[in-house]
Each structure stands twice: as C-alpha cells, then as structure tokens.
Structure 1
C-alpha cells in the first residue's frame, strides 16, 4: 500500500499536478491515473489540449456521469473512440476517485 501511495505521489510530482488532498490510497490512485491516462489529452492543468475538452470547474457528478457513459461503450461525442477504451475497465470506485480528484484539483 505504501508503495502505491509513493508511486502515485511521484507520478503527480513528475507531472506537475498538485492534488487537493492525496492522503489516502484512493486519492493517490486517482492522481496517478490522471497523470498517466488523462493528462496527455486533457492537459496537466485540466485545460484541455487541441480538440480535447477542458475538465476545469466540472462538478463530480458531471464527471462520474460522463465516465459511466463511456464505460458502457456509448458514444457521446467526437472523442468517444478514445474515451471508451480508457473508461471500459474502470471500476465504480476508480470513477468516483478520479472524478473527485479532477473536480477538486482543477477548480
């Protein structure tokens, strides 16, 4: 468990992300997931890159809803082909943690 938290903290530090509060394994996991899976398209600061949307100022509920839709395989926009495979294997806990991290970090 300590190695997971350390790895996630390192990933967040390397990527320049400062999670609002990464004192649990869930928070650390979410920071690592964002740094390794989301930041390439949505940016290190959540502002979006090119045609990829900003995640700034998005409420948790909005993010959970979108990730659950993508996880179900339903296309809801032009980037669905990229989002569906990324969300396909996410658990409810991962979706909740990632959504909370994004909402709290990119206010």
Structure 2
C-alpha cells in the first residue's frame, strides 16, 4: 500500500513539474511573439503610444477575445483595419501565448 502511495505521489509531482515547464514555455513564446509583432505599436511595456491603445491592465480572456475577433474579420473598433492583418497570421496557440504573456507581464 505504501509503495502505491509513493508511486502516485511521484507521478503527481512529475505532472506538476511538467505543467509548470509548459506554462513557462508558453509565456516565453508569448513574449517572443509580442516583441516581434506587437511591441512596435503597443510599446515594450504594453502602455500604448500615439493611436495605439495600452494593453497593460487587460486580462487574458479580453485580449484573446479581441485577437480572435480581429482574426475572424469582425469589425471591432476604429483600428480594425490596422489589427486585422496582424491577427490573421496568429494561430490559436499564438493567441493563447500572447494573451497570457500580456496578462502576466503587464498587470
């Protein structure tokens, strides 16, 4: 019985370590995508500049929803024409990584 508990505890610990590593990789991928795609308009710290709005303070669900709507071709707001081409090249993973990075780093 003790052996089974020990094995189960080891498996649970391994799963937690793997999920933490996956989350870190997603944030890193989001950071890379942000720096290469978003920072030139929204700023290195997501504070916005000129006509480009701040992303700081936005939660992951809001950012993901907006990016998905832009990608789908929906009219989202005054800057849809600028954002649609940016979002159309994003995969579902890109959107998840970006939105989690923005929510984690800029809040």
TM-score by length of 2: 0.74
Work out the CA distance in 1 between the residues paired with 2:42 and 2:56.
Answer: 10
Unaligned runs of 5+ in 1: 1-21
Q: Deviations over 1:1-60 (max 9, x none)?
A: xxxxxxxxxxxxxxxxxxxxx831x22221111001101111011010111110011011
User: Which residue of 2 is the match for residue 9 of structure 1?
Assistant: none
Taking only aligned residues, the RMSD between alpha carbons, in angstroms, comes to 1.3
Q: Tell me, yes or no, if structure 1 residue 48 matches structure 2 residue 48.
A: yes
TM-score by length of 1: 0.74
Number of paired residues?
85
Q: Tell me, yes or no, if structure 1 residue 72 matches structure 2 residue 75.
A: no
Unaligned runs of 5+ in 2: 1-22
Greater fraction of residues in helix:
2
Bigger relative contact order, structure 1 or 2 (CA pairs below 8 A, ≥6 apart): 2
User: Which residue of 1 is the match for residue 37 of structure 2?
Assistant: 37
Work out the CA distance in 2 between the residues paired with 1:83 and 1:64.
Answer: 13
Work out the CA distance in 2 between the residues paired with 1:49 and 1:96.
Answer: 24
